[in-house]
Amino acid sequence: MKCRTSMTDPSYLDRCVFEHPPGVHIEKPGPLDPDFLSEGMMPHVQTEPFPRIRRFRGQDLEKIREIESSAFPKTAYSEETLLTFFRMMPETFLLLETDQDVAGYILFDAAGHVYSMAVKPAYRRRGYGRSMLEHARKHVKKSLWLEVRSKNEGAIRFYRNAGMKLLDRIPNYYGTDDALIMVLDGEKP
């Protein structure tokens, strides 16, 4: 294992990142977590620090709210809802940051349900959304699945291009719009 400091220093892992999809590095999620390391991620020297995926922190709330409001202007989650998700699922409320900004986020549970995901318009079409989905898929028990508005053609196209398949439709889930249930790697749990 190669890191910038000696392995005898207990904080050496804090200066390492873990291999992940090309061009995206995952920040280690805090103190040594044997479950995190056992998932096959090997630390290496951080040569390209950004973009990277890391856990949400309280100081990120306003940036996440901005992304939420931009992506879902009529149905953005409230501050209270986002903080409740954070309290319930701190390990799977993740964001992708560049060297200058928070570019996007994904919120999912261990069972594979994606509650929300969005990328700022200025950072779209760079592979960030796909990187977050790939990261989430590697950290769930079964399949990754979500609901998407049936009239949201851009999101549906993105999810299909990412390999998700249409599983089901829920009539009027969003009031006057149906929800499409889309799944990555199999059936909805």
Which domains are present in the chain?
Answer: 12-141 (3.40.630.30), 143-189 (no CATH)
**Could you tell me the pTM of the whole model?**
0.70
Residue by residue, pLDDT tens for the chain (189 residues) are 233 333 333 333 333 333 334 444 444 444 433 444 334 443 333 334 668 899 998 889 999 999 999 998 888 899 999 999 999 999 999 999 988 889 899 999 999 999 999 999 888 888 899 999 999 998 888 899 999 999 999 999 999 999 999 999 999 999 899 999 999 975 555
DSSP string for residues in 38-102: TTT--EEE-S---SEEEE--GGGHHHHHHHHHHH-TTTPPPHHHHHHHHHH-GGGEEEEE-SSSE
- Report the distance separating Cα 17 and Cα 12, nearest Å: 11
